[in-house]
Amino acid sequence: MQSNGAGQGQESTDLSCLNSAQNGESSTAGGTHSNGLLSSTDNGNGVGTSNGSATGPGSGTSAAPTASGSEVGSLKKKKRLSQAEEDVIRLIGQHLHGLGLNQTVDLLMQESGCRLEHSSATKFRNHVMEGEWDKAENDLNELRALMHSPNAIVRMKFLLLQQKYLEYLEDGKVLEALQVLRGELTPLKYNTDRIHVLSGYLMCSHAEDLKAKAEWEGKGTASRCRLLDKLQTYLPPSVMLPPRRMQTLLRQAVELQRDRCLYHNTKLDSSLDSVSLLLDHVCSRSVLHSPHWKQFPCYTQQILTEHCNEVWFCKFSNDGTKLATGSKDTTVIIWQVDPETHQLKLLRTLEGHAYGVSYLAWSPDDMYLIACGPDDCSELWLWNVQTGELRTKMSQSHEDSLTSVAWNPDGKRFVTGGQRGQFYQCDLDGNLLDSWEGVRVQCLWCLGDGRAVLASDTHQRIRGYNFEDLTDRNIVQEDHPIMSFTVSKNGRLALLNVATQGVHLWDLQDRVLVRKYQGVTQGFYTIHSCFGGHNEDFIASGSEDHKVYIWHRRGELPIAELTGHTRTVNCVSWNPVIPGLLASASDDGTVRVWGPAPFLDSQEADGLNENCSNMDS
């Protein structure tokens, strides 16, 4: 694996084998180990150690041990290492060097017959870390022949001279710094905008002012290490390994395992200290007590029975602190989510929706809640959730059907419509701002730009409508009626419940069908699905077979089937803040709150699995 895209050139065999070192190739820089790297115990005196021997300052001789004829012969008799094996040894050597285990690195390189890096790269590294900028520039000429991009030399030289310039300024050597700027940086004719910025640093009154304006650590090991990290990106890995390459590869492996895990539902942590490298990452039913599994909602932690008829809709607030449920019993109930126990308790009941409540939408700031009714309802209600007061009861005509609503991101407007051809944009007082004639709306969604509104209609499609320039365009076309849809937070993906077909995932940007999810029973009832979990990696949907289905976004087969409801599950809502909390509303008159499984012994876990099937399918 290569981070900078540079290929392993023909020189890699010559660069990494010890034979080249034993044939007289040595570093001209003092203070180096036989592995070619600057000693971490050098203390700036230029004295290096190897197997107990030392060289004097400025001696210009390598501290590499001299192999006897028998040792060389034994090395030749050994199996020749493959390129992959050599790469692994170099990665291990680099990691050990970073830990300060330089004598161990010397022994590893000697016994394996490999080198960490080319001798020219070693000299370059040492000169950079010692601040010997003229020598480092000369090293670039040696490295030029080993590089695949001639332009990289100019970029590397610019970075070197920039560090040299800043260090002169910090030391108060303004004339020397000015000479670097005018006589060395400017003639490169590279990144003139940056040169103008650098020239402004001449006006800094003191070193701290310079560090603050340049966002620079100052002269010393820290800034030179950062510089070296940048410089290494231009060198082929066969010449000099990218910085901390083993840690990078391990981190990528851990992230890939997490990414492939169907049940992982915790915030990603890029630190290797948070995982064990000795075991593969696992989140499955067989590891119920793992910290990751405990974030997956598969267990009925609460059943809300306060509604006295079918529950048609449920929706968590944007801040995750409340749940709103709408029912055929003409009420909306607002539930408070306990931040510690995640238990829900009744906060208030909003009454008077004569036709029942089939759709709910929270305002972006969660201050207001809009309630819509079924097809024969011509009204919508805009409630102040904090006070429980009805702010607006809107109806344009008794012949209207206002069954869906979506908030504009500014929180000052909303759009509403229905299947009888109404499509309105209104303010918080219900005043009509704009209208679109002849659009039979099934479901609505406002995109994040505040201009485009997505609407599914009776022509089995989703179109985008712009109320500012009055343009519209086709985005999604299905072969069957779109009963409902929802959009991911980033506005890229749409999740559709399609009559007789199930749940479909569309890419709104590329306008392509991404995936069809299997298992759910979807007829001509309106069922609402949702995205959920960390990074919205999961998809949940109700079903006419009384179950809640959960899929990983990348897989067509369900990873969980949650049972407990006794009639059609009309709607599911995943808490946007608490990734292990899911709510489902059903025609059985209940709302079930699903959470992570409690700590169970094996017998209890078997009982839980009966209510949470297909977890490892």
pLDDT(15) > 50: no
Which residue is listed with tokens 């029942």? 356
Mean pLDDT (the chain, rounded): 82
Q: Is 550 exposed, middle or buried (0-12, 13-18, 19+ CB in 10 A)?
A: buried
**How does DSSP classify residue 409?**
T
For residue 280, pLDDT over 70 is answered with yes
Q: Whole-angstrom Cα distance, residue 346 to residue 359?
A: 19
Nearest to 118 by CA among 100, 88, 139: 139
- Our measurement of the distance from residue 52's CA atom to the centroid of its chain's CA atoms, rounded to an integer in Å, reads 48
Distance, CA of 361 to CA of 368 (rounded, Å): 8
* Angle, alpha carbons 285-290-295 (nearest 5°): 80
Share of the chain above pLDDT 70, in %: 79
φ, ψ of residue 242 in degrees (nearest 5): -60, 150
Label the pairing between strands 299-304 and 502-507.
unpaired
Checking if the pLDDT of 613 tops 60, the result is no
Handedness of CA 135, 136, 140, 142 (dihedral sign): positive
pLDDT of residue 270: 62
How many Cβ atoms from other residues are within 10 Å of residue 431's Cβ?
11
**Non-local CB neighbours of 466 within 8 Å, separated by 6+ positions:** 451, 452, 453, 472
197 Cβ neighbours under 8 A, 6+ residues apart: none
- The predicted pLDDT at position 77 comes to 52
CB 295 within 8 A of CB 268: no
Give yes or no for residue 445 having a pLDDT over 80.
Answer: yes
User: How many CA atoms does the CB half-sphere of 260 hold within 13 Å?
Assistant: 9
Checking if the pLDDT of 5 tops 60, the result is no
Lowest mean pLDDT among 75-84, 360-369, 550-559: 75-84
Burial call 202-234: b when 16+ CB within 10 Å, e when fewer:
eebeeeeebbeebebeebeeebbeebbeebbbb
φ/ψ of 390, rounded to 5, equals -85, 115
Instruction: Label residue 611 by pLDDT band (50, 70, 90).
Output: low
Q: pLDDT tier at 133 (50, 70, 90 boundaries)?
A: very high
DSSP 439-478: --EEEEEE-TTSSEEEEEETTSEEEEEETTTTEEEEEEE-
Nearest-angstrom CA–CA distance, 118 and 11: 10
The whole-angstrom separation of Cα 615 and Cα 538 is 13
User: 3-class DSSP state for residue 612?
Assistant: strand
Q: Per-residue pLDDT for 11 more than 70?
A: no
pLDDT at residue number 391: 95
**Backbone torsion region of residue 602, taken as left when φ is above 0, otherwise alpha when ψ lies between -120 and 50, otherwise beta:** alpha
Q: How confident is the model at residue 268 (pLDDT cuts 50, 70, 90)?
A: low
Comparing CA positions, the residue from 491, 498, 493, 492 lying closest to residue 477 is 498
- The Cα 380–Cα 441 span in angstroms is 15
Residue 253: the pLDDT is 82
Percent of the chain with pLDDT over 90: 55
* Side-chain-side CA neighbours of residue 528 (13 Å): 24
pLDDT in tens, 350-405: 999 999 999 999 999 999 999 999 988 989 999 999 999 999 999 888 888 899 99
Whether residue 3 contacts residue 245, with contact meaning beta carbons closer than 8 Å, is answered with: yes
Q: CA 456, 462, 468, 469 torsion: positive or negative?
A: negative
Is residue 228 pLDDT above 50, yes or no? yes
Report residue 83 as tokens: 């390129």
* pLDDT-based confidence at residue 56 (cuts at 50, 70, 90): very low
DSSP codes, 158-181:
HHHHHHHHHHHHHTT-HHHHHHHI
Q: Is the pLDDT of residue 471 over 60?
A: yes
Long-range contacts of 327-330 (CB under 8 A, 24+ apart): 327/356, 327/357, 327/589, 328/356, 328/357, 329/356, 330/354, 330/355, 330/356, 330/357
What is the pLDDT, as a whole number, of residue 341?
A: 92
Q: Mean per-residue pLDDT for 295-324?
A: 95
- Tell me if 188 sits within 8 A of 174, measured CB to CB: no
Q: Coil, strand or helix: which one is 413?
A: strand
Which of the residue ranges 86-100, 108-122, 244-258, 507-521 has the most confident prediction, judged by mean pLDDT? 507-521
Q: Identify the bridge partners of residue 446 per DSSP, sorted by sequence position.
A: 453
Tokens of 259: 């990414």
Query: Which stretches of 67-150 are DSSP H helices?
Result: 69-77, 83-98, 102-112, 119-130, 133-144
- pLDDT band, residue 130 (cuts 50/70/90): very high
CB 297 within 8 A of CB 570: no
Please state whether the predicted TM-score (pTM) of the whole model is above 0.75: no
Looking at residue 148, its pLDDT comes to 76
Mean pLDDT of 29-51: 44
Higher pLDDT, 557 or 14: 557
Q: Rounded mean pLDDT of 428-445?
A: 89
**274 pLDDT band (50/70/90 cuts)?**
low
pLDDT at residue 239 is higher than 50: yes
More confident: 44 or 508: 508
Give per-residue pLDDT as tens, 145-180: 888 777 888 999 999 999 999 999 999 999 999 999
Which two three-digit tokens encode residue 36? 């070619």
Q: Is the pLDDT of residue 47 over 50?
A: no
Could you tell me which residue, 324 or 469, shows the higher pLDDT? 324
SS3 content of the chain, % helix, strand, coil (to 5): 30, 25, 45
CB 484 within 8 A of CB 442: yes
pLDDT of residue 1: 42
Note the pLDDT of residue 292: 43
